[in-house]
């Protein structure tokens, strides 16, 4: 990456808070500042250990509203500061992968409008996260964010119902402009209705995804329902999530019919949260249920073994616990979490392996946070190599 461009971006981030304070009295727009320094280590059977020290910096500005209109622009740069690793485009294939290549790009450039009854329109390069990001997300964990050249329309025509439509013209993926897979031309449509019920919230969605030019095998049409409900009972706060979807070929690309199911129960009391659930993505022997636009890192374990669903599908049974301490360092709490996963094929007959994930996160103040994470995957199928991953990061947000 051109060091001058990254230096300029870093300088902009350093001076942005001053600019924001100077303009706040004039009721100007909002500065957007986000920087993250991260060390990642990956040990994977069959590859050399990877060590990566990378820096991500974003700076942007959104104007104040004028007759409902706002204009937002944001630059993003990722620099490789040190380490030996395969960033997916540097040719270092002997090393384990850390998919954070150097890049400098326009991350977002959008015009938005907001009106009455929840009406909103966004045109341009934008961040899109729907529901829990299982089907559409920004892949926020990686240094280079996934954004979309898209049109998004929203409305809430009645008190208990909202509707969203998105047309996606281009997907700006995490691999950057120098990668042949850095962008996907798209002719895709997404529609969703969200309904507040007497018990919980129901979302009905459809995705018609076509990437015929760059990734035809990822084209599909998917229809699903997602229901969530949280309530209070005797000092506990249970939350139930149920979701199911079906996926098939779209516009003559392939010939398949696959399913997806997810169920989760979370139980929160005071500073403790217990979670247990299962997720199943079917396979037909030739391909697996696909979610190519998802934030994949937060599903099926942090080791990222199943970014692509195996042809025989994958079933993930998991259970976890998290605890938030009383404030102590800088009068801030620390959130500790551990989750265990058991992986198998979609029928549960073939053992794929197991994984343990752990994390600790705290905020030093309203702008600076620290995080340590680790993932330990033990494979039982030769297709899925054993691997351990560790992350240490510090993040600043204005």
- The residues spanned by each domain of the chain are 1-66+77-104
Tokens for 113, please give them: 């409008």
Spatial CA neighbour of 66 closest among 110, 28, 121: 28
Per-residue model confidence as pLDDT tens digits over 294-304: 999 999 999 99
**Antiparallel, parallel or unpaired: β 201-209 and 183-196:** antiparallel
Per-residue model confidence as pLDDT tens digits over 318-327: 999 999 999 9
Instruction: Walk along the chain (398 residues) and give the pLDDT tens digit of each residue.
Output: 444 454 445 444 444 454 444 444 346 899 999 999 999 999 999 999 999 999 999 999 999 999 999 999 999 999 999 999 999 999 999 999 999 999 999 999 999 999 988 899 999 999 999 999 999 999 999 999 999 999 999 999 998 999 999 999 999 999 999 999 999 999 999 999 999 999 999 999 999 999 989 999 999 999 999 999 999 998 899 999 999 999 999 988 889 999 999 999 999 999 999 999 999 999 999 999 999 999 999 999 999 999 999 999 999 999 999 999 999 888 999 999 999 999 999 999 999 999 999 999 999 999 999 999 999 999 999 999 999 999 999 999 99
Per-residue model confidence as pLDDT tens digits over 265-283: 999 999 999 999 999 999 9
State the distance between the two ends of the chain, measured CA to CA, in whole angstroms.
25
Could you tell me if 343 and 315 are in contact, meaning their C-beta atoms sit under 8 angstroms apart? yes
Using CB atoms within 10 Å of the CB of residue 160, give its burial: 0 to 12 exposed, 13 to 18 middle, 19+ buried.
exposed
The values of phi and psi at residue 310, to 5°, are -60, 155
Q: What is the average pLDDT value for the chain, to the nearest integer? A: 93
Torsion of CA 231, 233, 235, 241, to 10 degrees: -40
């Amino acid at each position: 990456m051109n060091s001058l461009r990254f230096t300029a971006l870093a300088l902009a981030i350093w001076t942005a808070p001053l600019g924001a304070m100077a303009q706040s009295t004039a009721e100007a727009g909002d500065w957007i500042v986000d920087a993250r320094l991260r060390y990642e280590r990956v040990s994977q059977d069959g590859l050399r250990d990877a060590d990566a020290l990378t820096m991500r910096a974003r700076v942007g500005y959104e104007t104040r509203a004028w007759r409902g209109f706002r204009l937002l622009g944001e630059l993003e740069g990722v620099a490789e500061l040190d380490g030996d690793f395969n960033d997916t485009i540097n040719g270092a294939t002997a090393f384990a992968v850390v998919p954070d290549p150097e890049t400098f790009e326009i991350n977002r450039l959008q015009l938005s409008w907001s009106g009455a009854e929840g009406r909103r329109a966004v045109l341009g390069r934008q961040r899109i996260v729907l529901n829990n990001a299982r089907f559409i997300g920004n892949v926020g964990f990686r240094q280079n964010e996934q954004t979309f050249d898209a049109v998004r329309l929203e409305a809430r025509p009645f008190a208990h119902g909202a509707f969203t439509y998105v047309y996606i013209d281009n997907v700006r993926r995490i691999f950057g402009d120098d990668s042949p897979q850095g962008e996907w031309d798209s002719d895709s449509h997404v529609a969703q209705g969200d309904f507040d019920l007497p018990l919980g919230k129901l979302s009905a969605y459809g995705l018609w995804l076509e990437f015929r030019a760059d990734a035809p095998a990822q084209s599909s049409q998917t229809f699903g329902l997602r229901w969530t409900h949280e309530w209070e009972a005797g000092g506990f706060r249970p939350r139930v999530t149920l979701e199911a979807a079906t996926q098939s070929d779209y516009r003559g690309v392939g010939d398949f019919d696959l399913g997806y199911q997810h169920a989760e129960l979370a139980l929160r009391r005071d500073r403790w949260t217990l979670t247990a659930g299962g997720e199943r993505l079917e396979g037909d022997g030739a391909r697996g249920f696909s979610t190519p636009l998802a934030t994949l890192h937060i599903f099926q374990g942090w080791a990222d073994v199943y970014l692509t669903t195996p042809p025989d599908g994958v079933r993930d049974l998991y259970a976890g616990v998290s605890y938030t301490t009383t404030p102590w360092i800088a009068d801030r709490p620390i959130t500790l979490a551990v989750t265990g996963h058991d992986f198998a094929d979609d029928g549960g007959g073939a053992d794929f392996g197991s994984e343990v994930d752990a994390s600790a996160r705290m905020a030093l103040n309203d702008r600076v946070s620290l995080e340590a994470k680790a993932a330990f995957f033990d494979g039982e199928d030769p297709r899925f190599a054993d691997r351990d991953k560790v992350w240490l990061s510090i993040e600043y947000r204005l």
